[in-house]
């Protein structure tokens, strides 16, 4: 058991290192130097360049900068943002909570809606799911805003200001997840209902709803949980658009800004954070398999 956990943790650290290194190399290979990125479209003289170089210690070889970055990161120091002139931990820290709230609310909404669609509105699921999956979140967001905020005034348009402001963004983000999840669940349910145990259950006189919830659902959950773990990646990517449309603070905006400005310390921190989230979620997903499927516990 303990070796399994250690192996898991070791693999996690390896993933973090690989993700950070890949991001570092990608930014290194991108055209233009860090000095170019900091100057942007502002005034550009040799004097300014020299000052920027010395301020951020950019005169050291790339390998040394990379090793220095790793060493500091290992000690929890992610450096300072070139663009925002603050410690990266501040930048990320202040934007983390709104993103987590949004992602969690969207995931809960998505899962609930998927369950309802798959169990109750089974006939509708296929068409409805397809529509949800294929509509761009940007459009969903604008339409929801137009109707429920601009016209009806039920929800505020912007910001991270309490529960009311979370509703529309969470729905916008949760709908496509619900669409995909519902499809997967329905497939699983259909397959489970064809199994002999479903026939047996029915023969015992169980109502169809009981057959569904007590017997078939458990079988259908396994692929759905895999899907949910994967969709957290979509959630992280999706926040960029949601934050833009709804004027919310969050990691998505920080990331886009940092990538556009080649703000290396922030980009690397976001990549490491995203990789960490993925490692954790994958671990949780694997544990969830054990809970759902007793066969896996035995082996």
Partner 1 sequence: MYKRQHQYAQAKTRLLVWNTFEALLTHDDKGGFLPWLASGYEVSPDGRTYTFTLRTDVTFSDGTKFDAAAVKANIDQLLAPNYAPGVAAVQLKNLDRVEVKDASTVVFQLKKPDVLLLDFVSSPQGAQISPKSLKEAKNLKAGGPELAGTGPFVMDRYTPGQEVHFTRNPAYNWAPANAGHSGPAYLDQITYRFLKESSVRVGALTSGQVQIVEGVPATDESLVSANPDLSLQRGLNSGSAYSYYFNTAHAPFDDVKVRQAFREALDVPAVLNGVYRNTATRAWSVIGPTSPFYDKSLEGTYGGDAAKANQLLDEAGWSTRDAEGFRTKDNKRLTVRLVQSAPFIRDRRDVLAQAIQAAVKQSAGIDVQVQLVDQGTATKALTDGAYELFDNSRADTDAGAALNLLLYSTGSINRTGYKSPELDKLLDAAVATTDQAERTELYRQLQKLVITDQALVAPLYAPQDQIAASKSVGGVGFEPTAGVPVDAYNLWLSK
Q: State which of residues 47, 61, 205, 294 lies at the interface with partner 1 (CB under 8 A).
A: 47
d(CA 185, CA 77): 43
Residue 259 Cβ vs partner 1, minimum distance, rounded to whole Å? 9
d(CA 251, CA 229): 19
Q: Write out the two tokens for 212.
A: 């569904």
DSSP-based helix, strand, coil % in the chain, nearest 5: 80, 0, 20
263 binds partner 1 (CB under 8 A): no
Which sign does the torsion angle of CA 253, 259, 262, 267 carry?
positive
Residue 21 Cβ vs partner 1, minimum distance, rounded to whole Å? 20
Q: State which of residues 76, 123, 134, 153 lies at the interface with partner 1 (CB under 8 A).
A: 153
Phi/psi of residue 80, each to 5°?
-115, 150
Buried b (16+ CB within 10 A) or exposed e, 9-46: eeebeebbeebbeebbeebeeeeeebbebbbeeeeeee
268 binds partner 1 (CB under 8 A): no
Which of the residues 205 through 224 are near partner 1 (CB under 8 A)? Answer: none
Which of the residues 66 through 85 are near partner 1 (CB under 8 A)? Answer: 84-85
Inter-CA distances, 158 with 119, 169, 171, 293, Å: 34, 9, 14, 43
Number of residues that bind partner 1 (CB under 8 A): 53
134 binds partner 1 (CB under 8 A): no
d(CA 85, CA 238): 27
Q: For residues 87 and 223, which CB has a smaller minimum distance to partner 1 in the complex?
A: 87
Inter-CA distances, 45 with 32, 199, 200, 261, Å: 16, 80, 81, 19
Nearest-CA neighbor of 167 among 156, 177, 179, 176? 156
31 binds partner 1 (CB under 8 A): yes
Which segment (5-13, 227-235, 248-256, 282-290) binds partner 1 by CB under 8 A?
A: 248-256
Q: For residues 41 and 76, which CB has a smaller minimum distance to partner 1 in the complex?
A: 41
Q: State which of residues 20, 69, 79, 95 lies at the interface with partner 1 (CB under 8 A).
A: 95
Q: State which of residues 40, 93, 136, 237 lies at the interface with partner 1 (CB under 8 A).
A: 40
Residue 166 Cβ vs partner 1, minimum distance, rounded to whole Å? 13
247 binds partner 1 (CB under 8 A): yes
57 binds partner 1 (CB under 8 A): no
Which of the residues 156 through 215 are near partner 1 (CB under 8 A)? Answer: 156-160
261 binds partner 1 (CB under 8 A): yes
| Dihedral angle over CA of 181, 186, 212, 222, nearest 10 | -50
Q: State which of residues 3, 32, 63, 75 lies at the interface with partner 1 (CB under 8 A).
A: 32
CB 91 within 8 A of CB 267: no
Q: State which of residues 70, 96, 133, 142 lies at the interface with partner 1 (CB under 8 A).
A: 142
Footprint of partner 1 (CB under 8 A): 30-33, 36-37, 39-45, 47-48, 51-52, 54-55, 84-87, 90-91, 94-95, 98, 142, 145-146, 149-151, 153, 156-160, 243-250, 253-254, 260-262
């Amino acid at each position: 058991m303990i070796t399994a956990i250690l192996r898991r943790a070791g693999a996690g650290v390896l993933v973090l290192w690989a993700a950070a290194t890949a991001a570092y190399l990608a930014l290194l290979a991108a055209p233009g130097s860090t000095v170019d990125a900091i100057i942007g479209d502002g005034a550009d003289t040799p004097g300014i360049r020299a000052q920027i170089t010395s301020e951020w210690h950019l005169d050291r070889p790339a390998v040394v900068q990379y090793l220095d970055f790793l060493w500091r990161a290992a000690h929890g120091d992610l450096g300072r943002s070139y663009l925002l002139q603050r410690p990266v931990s501040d930048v990320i820290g202040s934007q983390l909570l709104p993103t987590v709230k949004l992602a969690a609310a969207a995931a809960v909404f998505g899962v609930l809606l998927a369950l309802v669609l798959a169990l109750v509105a089974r006939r509708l699921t296929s068409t409805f799911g397809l529509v949800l999956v294929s509509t761009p979140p940007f459009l969903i967001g604008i339409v929801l805003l137009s109707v429920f905020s601009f016209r009806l005034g039920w929800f505020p348009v912007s910001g991270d200001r309490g529960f009311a402001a979370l509703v529309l963004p969470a729905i916008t983000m949760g709908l496509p997840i619900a669409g995909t999840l519902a499809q997967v669940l329905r497939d699983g349910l259909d397959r489970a209902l064809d199994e002999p145990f479903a026939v047996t259950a029915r023969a015992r006189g169980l109502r169809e709803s009981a057959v569904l919830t007590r017997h078939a659902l458990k079988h259908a959950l396994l692929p759905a949980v895999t899907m949910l773990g994967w969709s957290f990646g979509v959630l992280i990517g999706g926040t960029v658009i949601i934050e833009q449309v709804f004027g919310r603070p969050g990691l998505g905006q920080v990331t886009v800004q940092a990538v556009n400005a080649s703000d290396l310390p922030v980009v690397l921190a976001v990549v490491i954070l995203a990789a960490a989230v993925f490692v954790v979620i994958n671990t949780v997903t694997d544990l969830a398999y054990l809970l759902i499927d007793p066969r896996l516990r035995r082996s």
